[in-house]
Amino acid sequence: MSTLSVCLIVKNEEDCIEKCIKSLQPFADEICIYDTGSTDKTIDICRNLDGVTIVEGEWRMDFAWARNQSFNMAKSDYIMWVDADDIVDERSQKFLNEFKKEEINKYDHIYMMYRYNVTPENTDSLHFYRMRIVRRILYPIWNGRIHETVTTTAKANPISYYVPIEDAYVCHYKHKDSRGRNLAIFRDMEDKNEIYRGRDWFYFGNELRENGFIEEAVQKYIKCTNSADSWKIDKLNSYIHLSTVSLNKGKISDALKYAYLAASCTNKPRADACCIIGDIYQKMRQWEWAAMWYRAAYGNVTEKLEATFLDEDCSTWKPLLNLCVCEYNLGNIEKAEEYNNKVLEIVPNNVDAINNKKTFDLLKETKSET
């Protein structure tokens, strides 16, 4: 049976760290924690939990460096990483225990679904695959001061496995606002000419946008799209943000240009790119064109890494709701109602669909009276 180390970096996580560690104990052979300067009870909590090794260190405004310190502590065959506000639920614990016994040694990289804000009904606000477990003898190394990525250096063609979401996943419950801290790191990197990757320009743009610096964000997204090493999904999302900003400014031609560029980034246009093109044509009141793109979005399934940061509602109820609007404006009332009813089957409490239903019911009453 293979062994598994779980590695974390922490700082002032007293509100969540015990729950996180207890969710790791059922399957982890060791839990390695590098603390970057906690001033609360985090260190004491960790020291009182079984299977935990914690090293008190420093914070260098560099997430990759800190994660590498935690990886250097690991002694098992495989290394898994999580954050302090992550949880591995009981189903996933059982899978990982069985996976260690028989299957894991077939693979070098294991990708698991990362699920944000999982509800008691087992829904989430967002989920996507991330490399979660790596073979230790492949010398995994973290790169990038922020929004860091892990790479392995000792094998040209590592064998990867994507764990199905029905088997196991990691749940994320964000409990701190990190926007100001993250933006400070990016500004420091820019001042020191330490931004080398298209990925960094993309995430720098996100931090600027989320902090209200829209014009600065636009420039970073453009740099991402012009970087030769940018991952296609980072380019896609940069184009979507550029399209949205242009649309909000009333620059329709620019919005459409960026939206079509987003659609061209993947093997086939993703549902979110289709929806934003539909939104632009709807804004132009070109209902047939808008409907065409919403139909392209509905049922449009994207898998594995191409689905990263994809809003899956863009392939289910969102295009249906907009198809209702398009068909209504084209005078196809029955078709519009049919789409609206499908929305209510998927999201019964959707306010727009409920109001649409009232309109359709009123139209029927008026027609019957005449």
**CA 274, CA 279: separation in Å to the nearest integer?**
9
Cα angle for residues 305, 111, 93 (degrees, 5° grid): 140
Q: What is the pLDDT of residue 132?
A: 98
Q: What is the pLDDT of residue 154?
A: 84
**CA 83, CA 63: separation in Å to the nearest integer?**
12
DSSP-derived secondary structure letter, 143: E
Q: How confident is the model at residue 90 (pLDDT cuts 50, 70, 90)?
A: very high
* pLDDT of 335 above 80: yes
- The domain spans of the chain are 4-172, 177-230
Average pLDDT of every residue of the chain: 95
Q: What is the pLDDT of residue 370?
A: 63
Q: What is the pLDDT of residue 328?
A: 98
Q: Which two structure tokens, joined as six digits, stand for 319?
A: 């295009």
Spatial CB neighbours of 266, under 8 Å, sequence gap ≥ 6: 232, 233, 236, 273, 302, 306
pTM (whole model) above 0.95: no
Of 277, 291, 293, the C-alpha closest to 243 is 277
* pLDDT of 183 above 90: yes
Per-residue DSSP letters for 46-96?
A: HHTSTTEEEEE----S-HHHHHHHHHHT--SSEEEE--TTEE--HHHHHHH
Per-residue DSSP letters for 129-142?
A: EEEEEEEGGG--EE
The residue with tokens 């801290």 is 181
Q: What is the pLDDT of residue 245?
A: 97
**CA 81, CA 96: separation in Å to the nearest integer?**
13
Q: What is the pLDDT of residue 179?
A: 74
Q: What is the pLDDT of residue 119?
A: 86
The pLDDT tens digits of the residues spanning 96-155 come to 999 999 899 999 999 999 999 888 888 888 899 999 999 999 999 999 999 999 999 888
Mean pLDDT on 320-342: 98
* pLDDT of 230 above 70: yes
Q: Which two structure tokens, joined as six digits, stand for 114?
A: 């990362």
Q: Which two structure tokens, joined as six digits, stand for 152?
A: 């392995």
Rg (CA), the chain: 24
Mean pLDDT on 295-316: 93
**CA 239, CA 243: separation in Å to the nearest integer?**
6
Spatial CB neighbours of 332, under 8 Å, sequence gap ≥ 6: none
The pLDDT tens digits of the residues spanning 254-263 come to 999 999 999 9
Q: What is the pLDDT of residue 125?
A: 86
Mean pLDDT on 216-235: 97
Number of C-beta neighbours around residue 326 at 10 A = 27
Q: Determine the longest span between alpha carbons in the chain, in angstroms.
A: 80
* pLDDT of 54 above 80: yes
**Second-level CATH architecture of 4-172:** Alpha-Beta Complex (3.90)
* Secondary structure of residue 115 in the 3-state scheme: strand
Mean pLDDT on 330-345: 98
Strand partners, 30: 5
Chain center to CA of 41: 30
For residue 121, give the amino acid letter. Answer: E
* pLDDT of 290 above 70: yes
Q: What is the pLDDT of residue 102?
A: 87
Mean pLDDT on 191-208: 96
**CA 229, CA 362: separation in Å to the nearest integer?**
55
* pLDDT of 266 above 70: yes
Q: What is the pLDDT of residue 208?
A: 97
Measured in Å, how far apart are the chain's first and last C-alpha atoms?
A: 77
The pLDDT tens digits of the residues spanning 4-45 come to 999 999 999 999 999 999 999 999 999 999 999 999 999 999
Residue 71's Cβ-count burial label (10 Å; 0-12, 13-18, 19+) is: buried
Mean pLDDT on 73-80: 98
